[in-house]
Amino acid sequence: MFIEPFIGAKNKKDKKGHIEVICGSMFSGKTEELIRRLNRALIAKQKVEIFKPSIDTRYHDLDVVSHNENAIRSTPVNFADDIILLAGDCDVVGIDEVQFFDNQIINVANTLANSGKRVILAGLDMDFEGKAFEPMPQLLAIAEYVTKVHAICMKCGDLASYSFRLSDTKEKVVLGEKESYEARCRKCYYEDKKT
């Protein structure tokens, strides 16, 4: 269970930034948890800025949208460095689908946290081949708080932490939803990967 850190510093000088990472497979609720945390910050009257990679237009061109169709306004960006310029004087920065950014997102997260911001990142920790999805391993290493969420295996109903691609394409990044991917437990993932 994730316990949100105390973020009630009285003035900007006293604010201590940190990094939170939400990771897991497709359909595990990563974006849902990101939206929940950002909405709580908004309720607390904190200044919040949300970003996503501009290539992610699956549900909406601008908004961050979960599979359950919960949405929050966001700013699509082409490059991770753009986030530093656009974050301004906000208190909380949310970034969805971080696996679609290059390794510069690590420096961006550190820069924002070092300036006193709460940085919440969500993304896949493994790609469709079951390998670490860069830059997530480095983000997990520098984060003060890590939450791994799980989906339900589409074959057996057990907890799932793998994203099984239904097509034969070998490209690393293939945007898709239920027509392209299924959440799988370890056993079901590796059984079907062999065939």
Locate tokens 């392209």: which residue? 180
- 36: part of which helix (H) or strand (E)? helix 30-43
Q: Is 8 annotated as a binding residue?
A: no
Q: Is 30 annotated as a binding residue?
A: yes
Residue 59 three-state SS: coil
Q: Is 185 annotated as a binding residue?
A: yes
Q: Buried (b) or exposed (e) across 15-48, using 16+ Cβ within 10 A? A: bebbbbbbbbbbbbbbbebbbbbbeebeeeeeeb
CA–CA gap between residue 126 and residue 67 (Å, rounded): 19
Q: Which of 20, 33, 97, 182 is catalytic?
A: 97
Q: Is 130 annotated as a binding residue?
A: no
Q: Is 27 annotated as a binding residue?
A: yes
Active site residue 182: no
Q: Is 115 annotated as a binding residue?
A: no
Q: How many CB atoms lie within 10 A of CB 81?
A: 16
Q: Is 23 annotated as a binding residue?
A: no
Per the DSSP assignment, residues forming a β-bridge with 64 are: 72
Q: Is 24 annotated as a binding residue?
A: yes
Q: Is 147 annotated as a binding residue?
A: no
Q: Which residues are catalytic, by number?
A: 97
Please state the residue numbers annotated as binding site for Zn(2+).
Answer: 153, 156, 185, 188
Binding residues: 24-31, 96-99, 153, 156, 185, 188
What residues form the annotated binding site for ATP? Answer: 24-31, 96-99
